[in-house]
Chain A
Amino acid sequence: MASVTLKNVFKRYGDNLVVRDISLEIEDGDFVVLVGPSGCGKSTTLRMIAGLEDISEGTLSIGSRVVNDVSPRDRDVAMVFQSYALYPHMTVEENISFGLKLRKMPAAEITKRVGEAATVLGITDLLSRKPKQLSGGQRQRVAMGRAIVRQPAVFLFDEPLSNLDAKLRVQMRAEIAKLYQRLKTTTVYVTHDQTEAMTLAKHIVVMSGGIVQQVGAPLDLYRAPANTFVAGFIGSPAMNFFEVEVSDGRLKGRGVDLPIPPRFSGSLPAQLTLGVRPEHFRTGGGAGTVRMRVDVLEPLGAIVNALCDVEGVSVTATLEPDTRVTVGEHITLGVDLEHVHLFDRASTRAVAGAPRAAA
């Protein structure tokens, strides 16, 4: 087990800058999820840690060792690929033991470790099969077995669940979480799915355009997004944004008229973006209200998502399941002022407010 440190790391392909100046401290035993839209550089970062991509600039250390020029086979990392990358000509057992055999481990030890890994993952009765005889979830388990059997210092996961169907994905997500709870090995996990990030991570690194947007614990990112990108990316359904100006001590914009929340007592920039999460609308009004037309209703059982229109801006509001609204109806919803976010519209950065009481 080891920590992973990236210091001012760049990655270029010719003139194309894919990763810009990433610095990360991943502590020993941490579970870090790199999340962001496709092309944001998260996979490249992971592959640099694995050693599959050269580092153009900066230093990468695993433990106390700088590994910029260390071959992947000597970095003591194990990686789970999106495609699982199982060796098609080997049985499950051979797949799992391949890395151990390469390291000339005694046969008895190999058998023991493979047996343990197979038991943990529940694939004991699949050991003699070939990958093509396995289902997607089983292949996923074998790929993880191949990683854990090596007992590496760092686990790397590259979008491991994106080839699975929705139900299996939820199930495997839980399996990965359990596995981490058991092994406590330093893990770097790449995904584009913020739900995976929120549920698995101890720390989330949100990336966009090759730049780290924010690093923090999942709930911290949810509660205090550093900019509109993180605010929009974390949380589901995504946060609603309104363009507002400060006027007469109130925040005014198209279809929006709110008092300035007490948290933001300091001076505010004139051009603001107001962020309201769907779950922070309240039926029955309040100090600030927004009037909107209901376009679509998505009843999910526990909640109802109302996709609405506020003078041309699409807004999602999460309502109680027994709220009586109909499509096409105009409703007025109150806004939980304690939980709104304000961003400087020019820089997209969050406007700092007083710390809020725990929700």
Chain B
Amino acid sequence: MKLGSFAAAAAVITLVFALLAFAQSEGDLRAHADTSALLVARAVAWTYAEEQAGDPDGRTQRLLEALPGELPAVKSALVLKGNKIVAHSAPDQAGRSLSQDSLSDKALYDSAQAVKASASKNVEERERDPSLKQDPYPEVEIASLPGGAVAASAPVRNDEDRVVGLARVEMAEPLPTLPYPALIVLIGLIAMAIFLFFARRSIAVPAGVVLLLFIAVADVWALSGFRFGLRRSVTLATAQNLGALARAGVLPPDVSRRPALIGALGRDAHGRMYPIELVDVRPVDRAMTRSATLALGAIPGGERFEAGDHEAWFVESSFEAAYDRDFSDLSRWAFLSGMVAIGLFVMGARGRIHAFWSAFTSNRTAYGYLAPAMVGMGILVFVPVVFGIVLGFTDRRYNVFEFAGLSNYVAILSDFDFTSTKNFYFKLGVTFLWTGANVMLHVGIGLFIALLLNDEMLRAKGIYRVLLVVPWAIPNYITALIWKGMFHKQFGAVNFFLDAVGLEPVAWFGSFWPAFMTNVATNTWLGFPFMMVVSLGALSSIPNDLYEAAFVDGASRWQRFKDITLPLLMPALVPAVIMGTVWTFNMFNIIYLVSGGAPDGATDILITDAFRWAFERDKYGYAAAYSTIIFLILLFFTLLTNKVTGATKGAFE
């Protein structure tokens, strides 16, 4: 049955491309929304700067009032100077001062201050490093608002390049929902249907190869075509925005700050032409785009938007480079999914897919019931895991992930500087220590209490059980924060107690062992109820007459525990211990919230350090490789323990 393997391979390719289509169209649309808002904000800022430099008074206010009429997407626009709104798209707002009591005014003021601060910082940096000069005005702020709107803020500068105010525009550009993923899936389905229609046994293999090739090529072609079309329409929309701005009497004189995919030119009242930055692309094309942009006027076939003294150009030819690059990007994906497809194909040839398929067909109903869970697991577990593993082979530069081979793994594993708290092996040691200490305490305390609770003579068992499960029931970050507070050096309950009994207070987070101990104490408090509940369940499933038989056979209390209770607890306890080990190994919350790695990251375990690599030290690829190593360690541990103990076999089966 080769049909199954082809179908599976085709499904993989289709799925990969559908996801790509989804991600790309989402990204492109969002980038467009951001760019549009930014464009308008810059235009407003520029207009106000001109006004300040001596243009007719009130020009900005007139522009802002006209703006919503010309650009219906603009919800509001304003210019702030100091704490005064000097111009506003709603005339009644213009001229008022910001109120101390209004939260939205305060947010506005704060964002103006932030933009101003980063602008002056950037000025300093530009003076120090001339190479940054080609990015003259990077300081803008873009925020997503509820309902898909975008708020963009741009600084207003005076002649001396100093920030004197802030232009802020809220825009809600209608984003089309694009059916590209559905179209990709449709291609896959149609191709598969044709294939199944024509595929007779004898030609199944060549037909399948043709099918896969067809799907891959069609997907690459369709996706790059879609994207080309999308960019074209997005660019057109931007150009139309420009036209609208021009009609409103303004065009931003921005020099292309970032590389542009398209070029648009503004021509001001004096006949000077401005290249206008529009849509974000990657830095690779910087030179090309720039020259293309500057040469724009000479390229025929462009579209021209004109209003008064201003004109904007939109030229399609500059798309082609991007189209080519998209195409090669997609070809890489096609190659990758092709490799996966070949893998599946090999499995198919070995009969695996056939076995799977016959299992599937003979249990059709069961799989039907399982399908929702399987889809959920696939999306929530499988996709992120694969993504994470892939990320481990990349390195991020300028927001672009580049393939980096095994370099992350080599960097992690070949660092033997054990004295550094960031060293992998040091972290591994701490993690083992942490896991060992916790699991021993969890099992020890949990089992001990379970034995006490299992005593038939004990009264009010229900109350004890509820009380003892409480640590488990409280969200663990709350517990973590409470314990962190209790170990506070000055105000914590623990030091207060030490003081009360006449002992020296301890700086709990000042050195390794006390900090480590606070983590262990917190996690023990959190973790023992699980082991207690598991043990209690297993204890109550041990028939009482086994104890009686052992008692009559001559076993003492200890012998009954050792020879009856413990061996019969094992089938329940071993999986719980394995699970507990894995949980503890990856117990992020406690470490991060209680000691926070103090002192100096020494008490961080692998998982918290992986987090820091990703989100504090900004090395995603490195962090992903870190996580993959953690995963492999735990996988190895689980397979090993399962093999050694045969834990998945119950004693009563």
Contacts and interface: CB of A to CB of B under 8 A. Distances in A.
Interface stretch (B277-285, B542-550, B617-625): B542-550
18 contacts: A52-B551, A52-B552, A72-B551, A73-B556, A81-B549, A83-B543, A87-B563, A87-B564, A89-B567, A89-B570, A98-B550, A98-B555, A99-B553, A99-B554, A102-B555, A132-B653, A146-B549, A150-B553
Nearest to B542: A88
Contacts of B548: 50, 52, 72, 79, 81, 85
Nearest to A50: B552
B555 A85 contact: no
Given A83-B545, A98-B563, A88 B652 contact: yes
A85 B546 contact: yes
Given A81-B545, A88-B652, A132-B653, A103 B552 contact: no
Nearest to A75: B552
Contacts of A258: none
A73 B552 contact: yes
A1 interface: no
B552 A51 contact: yes
A9 interface: no
B559 interface: yes
B651 interface: yes
Interface string B529-562: 0000000000000010110111111111001000
- Nearest first, the 6 A-B pairs at minimum CB distance are A99-B553, A85-B549, A73-B554, A85-B545, A89-B567, A102-B554
B551 A88 contact: no
A73 B555 contact: yes
B169 to A, nearest CB: 74
Interface residues of B, number: 21
A88 B651 contact: yes
B551 A89 contact: no
Interface string B133-160: 0000000000000000000000000000
A77 B568 contact: no
B3 to A, nearest CB: 43
A73 B652 contact: no
A87 B568 CA distance: 9
Contacts of B563: 87, 98
Interface in B505-547: 543, 545-546
A45 B387 CA distance: 69
Interface in A211-225: none
B257 to A, nearest CB: 74
A98 B547 CA distance: 13
For B546, B556, B652, the residue with the greatest tally of chain A CB atoms inside 10 Å of its CB is B546
Contacts of B545: 81-83, 85
A78 interface: yes
Nearest to A77: B552
Interface string A82-100: 1101011100000000110
Interface string A255-275: 000000000000000000000
A312 B567 CA distance: 60
Contacts of A83: 543, 545
Contacts of B543: 83, 85
Nearest to A47: B548
Contact of B568 (A50, A82, A85, A88): A88
Contacts of A85: 543, 545-546, 548-549
Interface string A119-159: 00000000000001000000000000010001000001000
Given A73-B556, A79-B552, A146-B549, 16 more contacts: A51-B552, A52-B548, A52-B551, A73-B553, A73-B555, A78-B553, A81-B548, A85-B546, A87-B546, A88-B651, A98-B553, A99-B553, A102-B554, A102-B555, A132-B653, A150-B553
A265 B448 CA distance: 73
Interface in A45-90: 50-52, 71-73, 77-79, 81-83, 85, 87-89
Nearest to B568: A89
Contacts of A103: 554
A132 B568 CA distance: 14
Contacts of A87: 546, 549-550, 563-564
Contacts of A73: 551-556
B31 to A, nearest CB: 64
Interface in B614-653: 651-653
Contacts of B567: 89
A102 B548 CA distance: 15
A26 B497 CA distance: 66
A87 B555 CA distance: 13
B543, B552, B570, B652: residue with the most chain A Cβ atoms closer than 10 Å: B552
B552 A89 contact: no
Contacts of A156: 552
Contact of B652 (A50, A77, A132): A132
Nearest to B567: A89
Contacts of A79: 548-549, 552
B555 to A, nearest CB: 5
B650 to A, nearest CB: 9
Interface in A296-334: none
Contacts of B555: 73, 98, 102
A15 to B, nearest CB: 18
B569 to A, nearest CB: 10
A149 to B, nearest CB: 10
A91 B207 CA distance: 59
A283 B429 CA distance: 95
B538 to A, nearest CB: 13
Contacts of A102: 553-555, 559
Nearest to B556: A73
A87 B651 CA distance: 10
Contacts of B552: 50-52, 72-73, 77-79, 156
Interface in B323-378: none
A72 B554 CA distance: 7
B543 to A, nearest CB: 7
A71 B555 CA distance: 10
B571 to A, nearest CB: 9
A83 B543 CA distance: 10
Interface string B560-585: 00011001101000000000000000
Interface in B563-614: 563-564, 567-568, 570
Contacts of A72: 548, 551-552
A110 to B, nearest CB: 13
A109 to B, nearest CB: 15
A103 B550 CA distance: 12
A78 B554 CA distance: 9
Contacts of B553: 73, 78, 98-99, 102, 146, 150
Contacts of B549: 79, 81, 85, 87, 146
B558 to A, nearest CB: 11
Nearest to A74: B554
Interface string B265-295: 0000000000000000000000000000000
A99 B556 CA distance: 11
Most buried by A among B551, B554, B555, B651: B554
A88 B549 CA distance: 12
A129 B510 CA distance: 59
A353 to B, nearest CB: 45
Nearest to A94: B563
Contacts of B546: 85, 87-88
Q: Which of A50, A87, A146 has the most CB of B within 10 A?
A: A87
A6 to B, nearest CB: 18
A52 B652 CA distance: 25
Contacts of B568: 88-89
A72 B559 CA distance: 14
Contacts of A82: 545
Nearest to B566: A89
Contacts of B556: 73
A98 B551 CA distance: 11
A67 B651 CA distance: 36
Among A52, A78, A89, A146, which residue has the most Cβ atoms of chain B within 10 A?
A: A89
